[in-house]
Amino acid sequence: MELSTINRRIAVTAGLGIAAVITALLTVLMSGGDPGADVIGISLVIIVGITLVAVIKTVEKKNILYICLIIGLLMLVAGSALAVIPASGDNSASFSAMAIMGLIMALIAAVSLRKPVDYDIRDERTLKVGTWAISYSWYLAYLMVILMFWLSFFGIAALSAEAVLGVLMLLMPVSAAVFQWYFSKRGDVY
């Protein structure tokens, strides 16, 4: 993959991550919440994490993957250590977010380092399968939102925002991976 494509992917991912964090911060402000140091700290960790994960997923150089692995492990250790220190007080959620993001980065970097060189060959078929898998995943998530809305609306289930977001956060990537696996084994999307 050429450098301009890699740089564009990283820039787009970082830009979308920043836009998502700004939207979340504006939502906190409009709902009457106080975006204190903890919320801003978590936001910065998320932006850095999203950008570094984009680097890990697009760059194929081993030395950059090792650097990202080390950064992930350092974030994991530092976030875990700082989260349990009683003096951290209000910032413990930021430190926990840093530890979780470090774990995610370390896992993705480690898996990327173990992949064979010719593992990520992209052709028209794999791009088509990936596109359809993401589309099916989005459609499944949309149907799940509709289902959860009606379950809550009719009082069948009392769903908290954390439960709904947690279900969607797990459903979307897992279903995308399952659909991609299914379509790639099938040979095509139709």
Counting beta carbons within 10 angstroms of the beta carbon of residue 105, is it exposed (0 to 12), middle (13 to 18) or buried (19 or more)?
buried
DSSP 93-156: HHHHHHHHHHHHHHHHHHHHHHS-TTTT---HHHHHHHHHHHHHHHHHHHHHHHHHHHHHHTTS
**178 torsion bin: left (phi>0), alpha (psi -120 to 50), beta (else):** alpha
Distance CA 130, CA 137 (A): 10
- pLDDT score of 175: 92
Mean pLDDT by 10 residues, the chain (190 residues): 69 80 78 69 75 73 81 85 68 73 83 70 77 91 92 88 86 90 78
- pLDDT score of 116: 66
What amino acid occupies position 74?
L
From residue 102, give the alpha-carbon distance in Å to each of 29, 60, 162.
28, 20, 22
What amino acid occupies position 3?
L
SS3 label, residue 2: coil
- pLDDT score of 146: 93
The string of pLDDT tens digits covering residues 87-109 is 655 666 667 777 888 888 888 88
Q: Give this prediction's pTM.
A: 0.60
